[in-house]
């Protein structure tokens, strides 16, 4: 496999050097092929992802994987000509009268992409949209938990793209390590912070720039002026979507102390209406036995230390055979439990009461900066204060998750939740060299500052430096 990776990189590098700057029409064709692949293989993609999960809601795959790619291509094609145009920049006329400055977006070359299992089409193809819009070539390494989908991509993509343009690789053991050591022109990784550190360390050996989309404990904060029912409806949709296996899902929610009891009652009603039982086809399974054990053991640990688990649908709490977990709230969560200290990545929502806004602000700021922050309030001053004082990768106000679905907003983390951005124009910039070009005028005024330095140079520099 290492030879396959190196050979493919050499093939793509040679193709890039032979044709370094694809035209708008070529990029448009590549984007249309991405769109055609997803559209023409829609049902097979849905089936493959569901097989990888054990069960994945068809509607969730259509909503979160298929549609964003189709729509993302349309958005990019609408703006790509403008993005590709050289940008005029200002010139300091005192020293460079008549000169011109431009910034020209040019392709980097070959981009590596390491994709997680939770949204494998979304997180590979939205990256590829930006990569191809910028004129690059790409190699994509899929997750070990995406075997069925990886096989589909490896089998079908060659009918749409030659290997010198796009190649997919399965994780068969050690591939990710070898992949991250390749001398790419840029490397994009989405996944855990622990793996992200290893990827960044490997890329650093080649001085390869990285975009890291990691995770963390993204909080929601409901203020007392906001409708508790509306907040519950929106938060629980996001928390239960994909069984909570989303890097930008609501990890936990802060509520006014006086609202906790009512929120619990609302949550039971709302979730039961949406998922009558754990066997509902709309409830997605946990990805594998390891993840299932991690979540259920964390729930049992919390309960053993005094937390209250509130099951939101009737019947079994969980089913090891189907790897489904009933959505739960957690009350009175001790601080030293896994549910409190680690990203949950499951359908479990700790509820934390507060007496004043200072309490959640201090609590959030005492930990790593989250990938997302979800304040709920109609008070503009309160929202502005929260946004000033709580830093995060992105924000949805009065809802959760959906800032990620906006094609014209950059997506990315900050601090331990990641670095760099993609989606939309920022994705185009990330995968381009925004190349500064200075063109000197026919006559250069700088010649008056050539040595040997005389009185004019002294007086002029004295004037400039006052």
CB hemisphere CA count around 90 (13 angstroms):
3
Active site residue 208: no
Torsion of CA 114, 117, 118, 121, to 10 degrees: 70
Report whether 144 contacts 177 (CB < 8 A).
Answer: no
CA distance 129 to 426: 12
* Beta carbons within 8 Å of 280's beta carbon, 6+ residues apart: none
* Beta carbons within 8 Å of 63's beta carbon, 6+ residues apart: none
* Beta carbons within 8 Å of 411's beta carbon, 6+ residues apart: 213, 393, 394, 403, 404, 421, 422, 423
The active-site residue, picked from 164, 213, 343, 416, is: 213
Active site residue 223: no
* Beta carbons within 8 Å of 459's beta carbon, 6+ residues apart: none
Using alpha carbons only, what angle is made at residue 116 by residues 115 and 120, rounded to the nearest 5 degrees?
75
Q: What is the DSSP letter of 318?
A: E
Report whether 38 contacts 69 (CB < 8 A).
Answer: yes
DSSP 225-276: TS-HHHHHHHHHHHHHGGGG--TTS--EEEEEGGGHHHHHHHHHHHHHHH-S
A 10 A CB-CB count for 102 gives 14
The active-site residue, picked from 208, 223, 240, 247, is: 247
CA distance 333 to 336: 9
At 256, list the tokens.
């006014």
Strand order in the sheet with 372-376: 308-311, 328-331, 348-354, 252-256, 219-222, 372-376, 394-395
CA distance 37 to 45: 10
CA distances from 285 to 235, 268, 292, 403, 439 (A): 19, 20, 9, 25, 59
How many residues are recorded in the chain? 466
Tell me which residues are annotated as active site.
Answer: 213, 247
């Amino acid at each position: 496999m290492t030879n396959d990776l190196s050979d493919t990189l050499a093939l793509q590098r040679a193709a890039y050097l032979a044709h370094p700057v694809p035209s708008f029409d070529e990029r448009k064709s590549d984007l249309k092929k991405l769109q055609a692949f997803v559209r023409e293989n829609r049902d097979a993609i849905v089936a493959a992802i569901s097989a990888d999960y054990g069960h994945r809601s068809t509607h969730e795959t259509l909503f979160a994987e298929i549609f964003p790619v189709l729509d993302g291509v349309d958005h990019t094609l609408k703006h790509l000509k403008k993005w590709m145009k050289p940008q005029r920049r200002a010139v300091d006329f005192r020293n460079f009268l008549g000169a011109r400055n431009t910034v020209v977006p040019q392709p980097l070359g070959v981009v590596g992409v390491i994709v997680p299992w939770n949204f494998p089409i979304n997180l590979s193809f939205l990256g590829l949209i930006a990569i191809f819009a910028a004129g690059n070539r790409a190699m994509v390494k899929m997750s070990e938990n995406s075997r069925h989908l990886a096989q589909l991509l490896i089998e079908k993509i060659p009918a749409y793209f030659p290997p010198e343009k796009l190649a997919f690789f399965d994780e068969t053991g050690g591939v990710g390590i070898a992949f991250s050591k390749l001398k790419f022109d840029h490397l994009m990784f989405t996944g855990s912070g622990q793996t992200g550190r290893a990827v960044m360390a490997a890329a650093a050996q080649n001085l390869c720039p990285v975009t890291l989309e990691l995770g963390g404990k993204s909080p929601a904060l409901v203020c007392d002026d906001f409708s508790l029912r509306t907040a519950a409806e929106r938060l629980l949709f996001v928390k239960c979507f994909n069984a909570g296996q989303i890097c930008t899902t609501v990890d936990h929610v802060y509520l006014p102390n006086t609202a906790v009891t009512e929120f619990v009652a609302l949550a039971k009603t709302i979730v039961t209406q949406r998922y009558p039982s754990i066997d509902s086809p709309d409830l997605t399974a946990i990805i594998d036995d390891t993840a299932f054990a991690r979540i259920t053991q964390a729930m049992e640990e919390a309960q053993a230390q005094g937390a209250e688990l509130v099951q939101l649908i009737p019947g079994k709490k969980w089913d090891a055979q189907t790897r489904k977990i009933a959505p739960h709230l957690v009350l009175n969560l001790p601080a030293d439990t896994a549910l409190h200290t680690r990203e949950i990545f499951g359908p479990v929502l700790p509820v934390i009461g507060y007496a004043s806004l200072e309490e959640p602000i201090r609590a959030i700021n005492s930990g790593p900066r989250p990938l997302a922050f979800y304040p709920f309030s109609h008070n503009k001053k309160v929202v502005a204060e929260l946004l000033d004082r709580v830093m995060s990768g992105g924000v949805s106000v009065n809802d959760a998750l959906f800032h990620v679905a906006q094609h014209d907003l950059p997506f990315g983390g900050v601090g331990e939740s990641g670095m760099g951005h993609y989606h939309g124009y920022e994705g185009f910039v990330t995968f381009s060299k925004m190349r500064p070009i200075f063109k000197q005028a026919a006559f250069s005024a700088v010649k008056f500052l050539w040595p040997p330095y005389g009185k004019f140079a002294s007086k002029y520099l004295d004037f400039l430096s006052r």
